[in-house]
A and B are shown apart, each in its own frame.
Chain A
Amino acid sequence: AQTVTQSQPEMSVQEAETVTLSCTYDTSESDYYLFWYKQPPSRQMILVIRQEAYKQQNATENRFSVNFQKAAKSFSLKISDSQLGDAAMYFCAYRSTMYSGGGADGLTFGKGTHLIIQP
């Protein structure tokens, strides 16, 4: 079974600064998807960014970018020019590309990192 580990329960950053959230995972599969989701106080899950394991290029979405190190099984999220609206819980998630009928298509989440933005 796959596991996802987020070792930072909470992070704090000054507005307009850059912050990096860490995520490591364990899998025996060679192809898979990795995601970062944001969960604000409303509890609505919002996709921030997605990375396909077979792509070597790191994904980027505006102020959000990832550092995907496949050999190290590391998938960190960098938020540049932090804004007050970025304050939320951030979850790293894994999805297998293999559908076995046993829920492999579902997401495995890390425990989350609470991001605080200091004005």
Chain B
Amino acid sequence: GAVVSQHPSWVICKSGTSVKIECRSLDFQATTMFWYRQFPKQSLMLMATSNEGSKATYEQGVEKDKFLINHASLTLSTLTVTSAHPEDSSFYICSARILNEQFFGPGTRLTVL
């Protein structure tokens, strides 16, 4: 199956700093990638849809100026959490779409102190 990687797998940062998370499709090209957020013992919530070469589409309630998404190539999408606060601490998961199936990355655990 298709492989999606995320880097880093975990990160700890201080409040007020910015953190960048990378999502890569390793063996295929993905024109569309998705970013999800999962709080402890909860479900995945779609944050935004990332399209190569165009602006991301954000779900209602997700601050686009806080969660910056860049999809500069067909194999890489990045999520930057700007001015992170403790409430941004969560598990962030990306996925890449091929036809009618999505392949998920292993996730990134963000802890903001």
Q: Which residues of A contact B (CB under 8 A)?
A: 33, 42-47, 50, 52, 91, 95, 101-103, 105-112
Contact = CB atoms under 8 A, between A and B. Distances in A.
Contacts of B38: 43
Nearest to A4: B43
Contact of A106 (B43, B49, B91, B100): B49
7 contacts: A43-B106, A43-B107, A45-B44, A45-B93, A45-B104, A103-B58, A107-B44
A107 B43 contact: no
Query: Which 8 A-B residue pairs are closest in the complex by CB-CB distance?
Result: A45-B104, A106-B46, A109-B43, A103-B49, A109-B44, A111-B43, A43-B107, A106-B34
Contacts of A44: 104, 106-107
A50 B100 CA distance: 10
B44 A91 contact: yes
A110 B44 CA distance: 8
B101 interface: yes
A7 B99 CA distance: 30
A47 B46 contact: no
Interface of B: 32, 34, 36, 38, 42-46, 48-49, 57-59, 91, 93, 95, 97, 100-102, 104, 106-107
Contact of A50 (B32, B97, B101, B104): B101
A10 to B, nearest CB: 11
B44 A102 contact: no
Contact of A108 (B42, B46, B104, B106): B46
A42 B43 contact: no
A103 B93 contact: no
Contact of A42 (B32, B34, B102, B106): B106
Contact of B57 (A52, A103, A109): A103
Query: Which of A46, A52, A107, A112: most chain B Cβ within 10 A?
Result: A107
Contacts of A101: 57
B97 A105 contact: yes
Contacts of B106: 42-44
B49 A91 contact: no
B43 A110 contact: yes
Contacts of B102: 95, 107
